[in-house]
Amino acid sequence: MRVFNETKIGKNRFTSTQTIALGFMLAIIVGALMLMIPAATAAGEETDFLTALFTATTSICVTGLVVVDTFSHWSFLGQLIILILIQIGGFGVITLYSAVMMLMKKEFSLRTRLLIQDYYNLDSIHGLIKFLVRVIKDTLIVEGLGAVMYSFVFVPKFGLLRGLWISVFNAVSAFCNAGMDVIGPNSLIDYKTNIPINLITMSLIVLGGIGYVVWFDFIENLKRFIRRRYSLRTFWKRMGEHSRLVINLTLFLLISGMLLTLYFEWNNPATIGKLSFGNKLLVSFFQSVTFRTAGFATVPQEALTPSTCIAGCIYMFIGGSPVGTAGGIKTVTIFVVLLNVSTFIRNRTEPVVFSRAVSDKLINKASAIVMSNLLLTMVLLVALIQVSHAPALAAAYEMFSATGTVGLSRGLTSSLNAAGMIVVMIGMYAGRIGPISMALFFSSKRSEKNDIRFSDGHFIVG
């Protein structure tokens, strides 16, 4: 995120990064206090602060790791609070603040526009409010359609009111890539071969994770395609290079994840070993999709083979795409780093994709994101193993899930002690706002370019 935008509040100066980080932190604390209300639990008893804080953190950070069952521990009020927190986390506190401003018909200051620009990593503030309105409107439309489609399955099974509530909760959770549900203790395991539930959930996850910029670009090009009736080849070429890259990377990661899961789990009777070939494909594809920061599960994660778990950690680390609801370092980020490596190995002058050069600034940013996320994840992983004495594989799966804001777990979350919960919460929070943003949060000085160009030093690498 950019860090040059500052505003003076009292005697303190806050950068955009600090404002966003503080906004998320404030929302988490308020959410935790609300979840401590006795009426928020099914038993009518007050929830301890650490459990409430963990639940608020996983909701705002749209992660999905839980220390108490969402469907049984919380009352309808508690579940409603969690759903609101998930929606806030999906939108982001800056977007929510902007929505309130629009409802009150208040003018947007330059500072607010710059905050929105920083939050969505946009290149310009031109058309920013129109973009924001479209984000909110289209999100609610997609979630609404998802809830309607879910209701055809859940209403007949659970009755009208409970069926509708489950449908709404699942639709918001899936689109925001939160992975939390109020169906029962088994997530979507009972629906692993239910084609409608699988297709609806996967569609919502992918739409949320692919990024608003991409589907806005796709929709606008689709309108022109219908109006002018040009070829599919022309349709593809007229989409922006970012959109084409994201779509290609998303398809590659989803298909490769499915094939790896299918291969590693083929004979595993605890996951897909006993299923028909068609259902094996369906479950494997869902697992690939949920690795992309979604957190829903149609097979027990603790039953996955070690090979699938290691592959899953890589996919969770990558996550979704920029300017969406998914977490992780993002698809384009890892692609830029790998492209730069390929360019160096092939002795090319500059990285190029779709006949467009990738700037040095973007390469530096991508490299910093990858390294800071990896470093943070590994440090927290060691800390989690130390404080919880968990098996390395279960701890790695948990921590990559936390920093990638995924929500998948091999059963470790519910058994965490207080120190382990704190470590995981740090991972979820850092994963949501980004490790670089965490570092910049503690910096109050304006970033400045070097005024002096130093001569090259003699260093050896490799």
Nearest Cα residue to 89 out of 1, 30, 9: 30
Handedness of CA 303, 180, 293, 19 (dihedral sign): negative
Per-residue pLDDT of 296-322, as tens digits, reads 999 999 999 999 999 999 999 999 998
Q: Are 171 and 164 in contact (CB under 8 A)?
A: no
Mean predicted confidence (pLDDT) in 85-97: 83
Handedness of CA 103, 109, 110, 112 (dihedral sign): negative
Per-residue pLDDT of 409-419, as tens digits, reads 999 998 999 99
Tell me 194's DSSP state.
-
Of 69-73, 96-100, 150-154, 230-234, the range with the highest mean pLDDT is 150-154
What pLDDT is recorded for position 17?
73
What pLDDT is recorded for position 1?
39
What pLDDT is recorded for position 98?
78
Q: Judge whether residue 16 has pLDDT over 80.
A: no
Q: Are 215 and 207 in contact (CB under 8 A)?
A: yes
pLDDT band at 6 (very low <50, low <70, confident <90, very high): very low
What pLDDT is recorded for position 112?
75
CA distances from 424 to 173, 178, 297, 403, 439 (A): 20, 16, 20, 8, 18
**% of the chain surpassing 90 pLDDT:** 63
Per-residue pLDDT of 172-187, as tens digits, reads 999 999 989 999 888 8
Range 265-271 contact pairs with CB under 8 angstroms and sequence separation of 24 or more:
265/299, 265/304, 265/305, 265/308, 268/303, 268/304, 268/305, 270/299, 270/300, 270/303, 271/299, 271/300, 271/303, 271/304
The type of residue at 285 is: F
What pLDDT is recorded for position 7?
42
Q: Judge whether residue 11 has pLDDT over 50.
A: no
d(CA 458, CA 462) in angstroms, rounded, equals 14
pLDDT band at 378 (very low <50, low <70, confident <90, very high): very high
Q: Are 285 and 202 in contact (CB under 8 A)?
A: yes
What pLDDT is recorded for position 114?
75
d(CA 313, CA 397) in angstroms, rounded, equals 6
What pLDDT is recorded for position 437?
67
Mean predicted confidence (pLDDT) in 331-359: 92
Per-residue pLDDT of 272-301, as tens digits, reads 999 999 999 999 999 999 998 888 999 999
Mean predicted confidence (pLDDT) in 69-91: 93
Mean predicted confidence (pLDDT) in 27-54: 95
Enumerate the domain spans of the chain. 8-440
What pLDDT is recorded for position 125?
72
Per-residue pLDDT of 150-170, as tens digits, reads 999 999 999 999 999 999 999
What pLDDT is recorded for position 4?
38
pLDDT band at 20 (very low <50, low <70, confident <90, very high): confident
What pLDDT is recorded for position 9?
40
Residue bearing the bigger pLDDT, 26 or 455: 26
State pTM to two decimals.
Answer: 0.90
Mean predicted confidence (pLDDT) in 346-368: 90
Mean predicted confidence (pLDDT) in 221-241: 86
d(CA 136, CA 144) in angstroms, rounded, equals 12
